[in-house]
Amino acid sequence: MSQPPKHLELTQVDIDFPTPNGPFKALSNVNLTINKGEFVSLIGHSGCGKSTVLNIIAGLYQATEGGCLLDGKEVNSPGPERAVVFQNHSLLPWLNAYENVELAVKQVFGKRMNKAEMRDWIEHNLALVHMGHALDKRPDEISGGMKQRVGIARALAMQPTVLLMDEPFGALDALTRAHLQDSLMEIQADLNNTVIMITHDVDEAVLLSDRIVMMTNGPAATVGEILNIDLPRPRDRIALADNPEYNQYRHQVLKFLYEKQRSPDAQQSTKPASGAAVTLALTPNQTNDDTEQAA
Amino acid sequence: MSTSTLSHRVSDSMAFVAQQSKQLVIPLIGLLLFLFIWEVGAKNIHTSLGTFPGPVAVYQQATNLIGEHQRERQKEQAFYERQEQRNAKKLAKNPDAVIKVRPYTGKPTFFDQIGTSLVTVMAGFFFASLIAIPAGIVIGLNQTLYSAFNPLIQLFKPVSPLAWLPLVTMVVSAVYVSKDPMFAKSFVTSLVTVSLCCLWPTLLNTAVGVSGISKDLQNVSQVLRLSWLTHVMKIVLPSAIPMIFTGLRLSLGIAWMVLIAAEMLAQNPGLGKFVWDEFQNGSSNSLGRIMVAVLVIGLIGFLLDRCMLMLQRKVSWDKSAVLR
């Protein structure tokens, strides 16, 4: 069986955090393979280690066991090819929108671009997130949604191989969130980046993703089920509202979150969902098999 | 209708005036109360140099000091004019004559002493900041260095300038030897003492400000792989600015207090020496003149702090922050 070249691969990742009462195992045996250009959502209850997975891919945390490979290279430090959109935008409050993006662009393209090219590239990225009109606004002068747009522009401007998003729209009101989700879908259709997004929002996950990775409750959280979302793109939120397939996917995610992983002391391992015609659910064991074949 | 809006406006503006005058009147009442207590209290304190000076006596001494200063300046001007005429005459007789220009060596007045003290305090404070800010950044960024230096900082922070002074005087006399010194030894001694005492608040506050940078911004810096210098310039310094200025303002306050003590004890020129000289002088005017110095020292300390506040407003990126 021939395997396509792996783009991003997490293999048997464990992570322990030291605490006064001994090490705390946050993740145990996480296996995940992500293809180029894929949009993957991580979903699970609070404290299940979604952010930890993202931080390991970003290189901000080091796995205690196992590791992360990006295009065959081991990830062990942060870098702009794995740009992160942080939950609370994390813009530098003393720089305006243009300068915030400029800091990233100078760092990544400082040697390859001249001044005019850099200016065009910064403006292009801010225009991409519809922020072209507010280049000189500082973060405290713009709304939460606009800040998050600038955060996304900063990440996109690094031309990342993988775009990591940590609950990017979590702190926004529903209308702004919908706008930004649409923008993100447009941009992703355009640039075909690999995107890994953490979310709490089931609708957001189904609307945006190619695959949804559902995580079990911590401690020692791991990948519970993986759901393939086989809806045609471009997707339209209004049309999808009445789509039975869409509702079927939503139902499956909700079922995982509220029945199988209802409370934090629910059982750790989950059985694959059976009977659903459109699902392609993988248990941790099956993922292990894949990686063993690849090895 | 129009009359009612007009009356509204009138009552609004009345309220505004009332509020403004309240802001003015209350401090004024406080000041008058203070002057009254001072006057009454002073009358009842009898020292070996006469009764303690009340506000009126102090005011008279202040005008005396101004008068002395003006007379001294006139003398100085006259001296230079005479010298210039003499030299011009000499040159007229013989164009190749070697002329001498001697500086005026009159007694420094109260205002000269203020000038000396201000120059010394600014130099000492500047020197201390030059060391304390970079050192604070380095210590704040590195937990190991912080652990290493923190006990030392805590140890030296509470040391009084008077304890340092003999050591500094001896070291400066031993080390600062040159035929043609750029600065007077007394100036260097004061400067070093001031620096040693006002180093610590800036150092500590900078270190604390730097180590308190939000984790999110540190993550941004890591993801961007910013170099150490860019990290410091773009992320560390702007976020530590408020704490650095808190430290600087504390330091400047301490520097000013330390300087007066150092000048008094070491007989270095400046306001401290003025106070000490007047005390030794022991005339019936001395206490009044010292009281003038006390008020001026307080006023200058206050103005120095206001200057730092203005500088902070200028440097701070967050113009909306309330600074006090």
| Chain B residue numbers touching A159 (CB-CB < 8 A) | none
Please give the ipTM for the structure prediction. 0.79
Q: What is the mean pLDDT of residues A228-251?
A: 89
Q: Look at chain B and report how many structural domains it folds into.
A: 1
What is the rounded CA–CA span in Å between residue B207 and residue A119?
36
Q: Whole-number mean pLDDT of chain B?
A: 88
Whether pLDDT at B190 is above 50? yes
| Three-state secondary-structure class, residue A249 | helix
Beta bridge partners of A214: A43, A225
Probe site for chain B from A94, A141, A165 (most B CB atoms < 10 A): A94
Check whether A54 has a pLDDT greater than 80.
yes
Rounded alpha-carbon distances, angstroms, from residue A11 to A14, A222, A223, A295: 9, 12, 12, 10
Q: Supply A19's token pair.
A: 């605490």
Residue A267 pLDDT exceeds 50: no
Interchain proximity B216–A80, CB inside 8 Å: no
What pLDDT was estimated at residue B157?
87
- The answer to whether residue B226 is domain-embedded is yes
pLDDT surpassing 80 at residue B289: yes
- Tell me which of A75, A92, A150, A158 to substitute to probe the interface with B (most B C-beta atoms closer than 10 Å): A92
What amino acid is encoded at B32 in this protein? Answer: L
User: How much is the CA Rg of chain B, to the nearest whole Å?
Assistant: 27
φ, ψ at A66 (rounded to 5°)? 70, -170
**CA distance linking residue B275 with residue B293, whole number of Å:** 7
Domain that holds residue B249: 110-175+183-314
The mean pLDDT value for B49-69 works out to 89
Name the phi and psi angles at A282, rounded to 5: -115, 135
Report A:32-61 residues touching B (Cβ under 8 A).
58-60
Asked if the A1-79+199-265 domain carries CATH number 2.30.30.60, the reply is no
Alpha-helical runs (H) found in chain B: 2-43, 55-93, 110-141, 143-156, 161-175, 185-211, 215-223, 228-230, 237-266, 271-281, 286-315
Q: Token pair 């600015």 is at which residue?
A: B241
* Strand (E) or helix (H) holding A247: helix A244-255
Residue A87 DSSP symbol: T
Query: A263 pLDDT band (50/70/90 cuts)?
Result: low
Across the interface, whether the CB atoms of B320 and A140 are under 8 A apart is answered yes
Return the residue of B nearest to A140 by Cα. Answer: B318
Please list every residue in chain A whose beta carbon sits closer than 8 Å to the beta carbon of residue B239. 94
pLDDT in tens, B108-145: 888 888 999 999 999 999 999 999 999 999 999 999 99
pLDDT at position A276 is 38
Residues ≥6 apart with Cβ < 8 Å to A145: A172, A173, A176, A177, A179, A180
Which CATH number does the domain housing residue B164 bear? 1.10.3720.10
> Is B158 contained in some domain?
yes
Which residues 187-246 of B are in CB contact (within 8 Å) with A?
216-217, 219-220, 222-226, 230, 234-235, 238-239
Number of Cβ within 10 Å of residue B264's Cβ equals 19
Q: How many CB atoms lie within 10 A of CB A125?
A: 24
Residue-wise pLDDT for A199-208, tens only, equals 988 999 999 9
